[in-house]
Amino acid sequence: VIIDLLKEALYMFPIREIAIDLPRWVEELPNNHWLYARFSDAVLEVVADVNRLRDVEPAALQLGEYEFVERSILQSIEPGEGSAAIELTCSHDLFYQVLSELSGFPIEGDHNLVGLISELSFAKHEYDKVAEALRNVKDTGYGLVSPGTDDIVFEQPELIRQGNRFGVKLTATAPSYHLIRANISAEVTPFVGTEKQGEEFVRYLAEEFEKDPDQIWETDFLGKSMHDLVREGLQSKLTKMPENAQEKLQETLTKILNEGSGGLICIIL
């Protein structure tokens, strides 16, 4: 009885600090993620009513009642320091749900997770090869993907002779990938009928542009938005490069790299 009375007396002291341990994967979520926000709101709501050490245990029980909390564990209460610690856990199903939302892939268990990590690891490995070239082509208009060690093919050594001297000719080939930015443009010229109707349409577009420059591209014309019409125009130009021209460009670039670009003349008919 005396111990209980002393404990009750100690728990009447004010609390100075409450440590709430969230699952580590939840802590890695962005602050604006719905689950992180729910944890934050729940903790703030419950902790607001905690003033003394004796309020900690009811607070831990209250936190355990939230649907996204699997368990709420009161880890410790330190009367001498005026502190307490509560651990919150989540279910595996909620973990897989959040992973599915973030990745865009359905993940129902560890078997899906292992397979997805393998695929994404391969994709990242391949992307890392071209990442710098993509940055360069955006900044300067030209990007180069250098061949890796595994891409190099070594030819059979060949004995060569120059007069009375002999040597060994070593040849290696490797693919290189060159990214070139080509800016394309497209125009949309919708015909609306009479000159008066055209003037009214131009006036309408000008007014809409002043209100919201982005909204003008959502303007409907003959069942399609201006954005869709322009996008179709751009897309049609992407397919104008014939296969023979693609082959010629590849041959030209290969010759420039291996033999130099002196005397290069390009003629477009």
Inform me whether the pLDDT recorded for 88 exceeds 90.
yes
> Cα separation of 237 and 218, whole Å?
22
Q: What is the 3-state secondary structure (H, E, C) of the chain?
A: CHHHHHHHHHCCCECCEEEEECCHHHHCCCCCCHHHHHHHHHHHHHHCCCCEHHHHHHHHHHHCCCCCCCEEEEEEEECCCCEEEEEEECCHHHHHHHHHHHHCCCCCCHHHHHHHHHHHHHHHHHHHHHHHHHHHHHHHCEEEECCCHHHCEECCCEEEEECCEEEEECCEECCCEEEECCCCCCCCCCCCCCHHHHHHHHHHHHHHHHHCCCHHHHCEECCEEHHHHHHHHHHHHHCCCCHHHHHHHHHHHHHHHHHCCCCCCCCCC
User: What tens digit of pLDDT does each residue of 141-152 get?
Assistant: 999 998 888 888
User: What tens digit of pLDDT does each residue of 18-74 get?
Assistant: 999 999 999 999 999 999 999 999 999 999 988 888 899 999 999 999 999 999 999
Inform me whether the pLDDT recorded for 190 exceeds 70.
no
User: What tens digit of pLDDT does each residue of 257-269 get?
Assistant: 887 766 666 666 6
Site of tokens 């049609």: 236
> Cα separation of 219 and 189, whole Å?
14
Inform me whether the pLDDT recorded for 4 exceeds 60.
no
- Who's near 10: CB < 8 A, 6+ residues apart? 53, 79
Average pLDDT over the chain, rounded to whole? 84
- Categorize the per-residue pLDDT at 79 as very low, low, confident or very high, splitting at 50, 70 and 90: confident
Residue 71 is predicted with a pLDDT of: 95
Residue 58 is predicted with a pLDDT of: 92
User: What tens digit of pLDDT does each residue of 139-181 get?
Assistant: 999 999 988 888 888 888 888 888 888 888 888 888 888 998 8
> Cα separation of 223 and 91, whole Å?
48
Residue 5 is predicted with a pLDDT of: 60
Inform me whether the pLDDT recorded for 10 exceeds 80.
no
Inform me whether the pLDDT recorded for 206 exceeds 80.
no
Inform me whether the pLDDT recorded for 13 exceeds 90.
no
Q: Which two tokens stand for residue 93?
A: 């199903």
